[in-house]
């Protein structure tokens, strides 16, 4: 879509637009897409400005089932198509479809976009080891929840959080602050490796995810634990288990991903909190 202009917008479902739909239409119509930007799971299309109009930013958050595709205007509408944006002379259009309507489109200024991106933690592919270690420090919550907290590290969802924890051999319920420096390094390497491989294969599609050309991703066949409950661990053959962590299903190998136990010398353990007898 880079270099193409959004001529006219049809909003079929106003609730997928954040803020007043008419404002969105006025701000986005008749503008050229001059750049694209991403942080974590948020996408921003840069819309051209000039001496009278400041640049604007079309923020896209796909949620779980959102799809943004370019299609010929004459192509049949998929079910749950909510927004149509005519491109250039109008032969093609940019469409937003979303069966569960968890995703949102919004138009914002540079300042608003900076605030939104600023509220996200460092992108998972950019974050440094030092930043990552800092974000674990002192946290008692489960590592799985932290990895999915976009304000701390942005870009991981349920699939890649499970896959990264498997690769790093860390139990999803491990308190984040108990992860050692060497395990944190291993986890961050796992996160980046998993994400890069998934991106190389155009992502993971169960039912809904498709890219802008309408193609599903191919990473599903490479998943080690996600949605493999009861199947053998690819590393040791143990049955993959599914538990709830922070309200999200979490898949892991109970043998490869043992819970950390803090080593306490016997003499110390006996003192203070020893048994009563």
Partner DNA sequence: GCAAGCCTGACC
Partner DNA sequence: GGTCAGGCTTGC
What token pair was written down for 257?
């991903």
Quick check: 114 binds DNA (CB under 7 A)?
no
Q: Rounded to an integer, what distance in angstroms lies between the CA atom of residue 81 and that of residue 12?
A: 7
Quick check: 141 binds DNA (CB under 7 A)?
yes
DSSP letters of 87-144? ETTTTEEEEEEESS---EEEEE-HHHHHHHHHTSPEETTT--HHHHHHHHTT--SBHH
Q: Rounded to an integer, what distance in angstroms lies between the CA atom of residue 224 and that of residue 208?
A: 20
Q: x/- string (CB under 7 A) for DNA, residues 68-97?
A: -----------xx-----------------
Min dist CB 251 to DNA, Å, is 8
Binds DNA (CB under 7 A): choice among 124, 142, 165, 198: 142
Binds DNA (CB under 7 A): choice among 165, 204, 233, 252: 204
Q: Rounded to an integer, what distance in angstroms lies between the CA atom of residue 28 and that of residue 108?
A: 10
Quick check: 65 binds DNA (CB under 7 A)?
yes
Quick check: 209 binds DNA (CB under 7 A)?
yes
Binding range to DNA, per CB under 7 A, among 47-55, 84-92, 245-253, 258-266: 245-253
What token pair was written down for 30?
């008749």
Q: Which of 4, 51, 52 is nearest to 30 (CA)?
A: 4
3-state helix, strand, coil in the chain (%, to 5): 25, 25, 45
Min dist CB 50 to DNA, Å, is 30
CB-side neighbour CA atoms (13 Å) of 46: 15
Min dist CB 108 to DNA, Å, is 12
Quick check: 202 binds DNA (CB under 7 A)?
no
Quick check: 218 binds DNA (CB under 7 A)?
no
Quick check: 208 binds DNA (CB under 7 A)?
yes
Interaction site with DNA (CB under 7 A): 15, 40-42, 61, 63-65, 79-80, 99-102, 139-142, 145-146, 148, 150, 157-159, 176-177, 204-209, 226, 242, 246-249
């Amino acid at each position: 879509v880079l270099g193409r202009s959004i001529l006219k917008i049809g909003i079929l479902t106003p609730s997928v637009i954040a803020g007043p739909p008419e404002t969105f239409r006025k701000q986005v119509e008749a503008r050229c897409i001059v750049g694209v930007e991403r942080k974590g799971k948020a996408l921003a299309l840069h819309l051209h400005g000039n001496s009278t109009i400041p640049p604007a930013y079309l923020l896209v958050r796909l949620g779980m089932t959102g799809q943004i595709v370019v299609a010929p205007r004459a192509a049949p509408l998929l079910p749950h198509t909510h927004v149509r944006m005519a491109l250039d002379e109008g032969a093609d259009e940019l469409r937003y479809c979303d069966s569960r309507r968890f995703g949102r489109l919004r138009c914002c200024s540079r300042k608003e976009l900076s605030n939104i991106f600023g509220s996200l933690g460092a992108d998972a592919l950019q974050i440094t080891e030092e930043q990552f270690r800092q974000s674990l420090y002192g946290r008692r919550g489960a590592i799985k929840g932290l990895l999915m907290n976009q304000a701390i590290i942005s870009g991981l969802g349920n699939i890649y959080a499970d896959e990264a924890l498997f690769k790093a051999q860390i139990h999803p319920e491990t308190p984040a602050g108990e992860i050692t420096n060497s395990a944190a390094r291993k986890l961050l390497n796992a996160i980046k490796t998993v994400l890069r491989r998934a991106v190389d294969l155009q992502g993971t599609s169960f039912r809904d995810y498709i890219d802008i050309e309408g193609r599903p991703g191919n990473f599903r066949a490479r998943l080690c634990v996600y949605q493999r409950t009861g199947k053998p661990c690819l590393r040791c053959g143990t049955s993959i288990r599914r538990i709830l962590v922070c309200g999200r299903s979490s898949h892991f190998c109970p043998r490869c991903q043992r819970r950390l136990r803090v080593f306490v010398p016997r003499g110390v353990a006996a003192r203070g909190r020893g048994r009563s007898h």
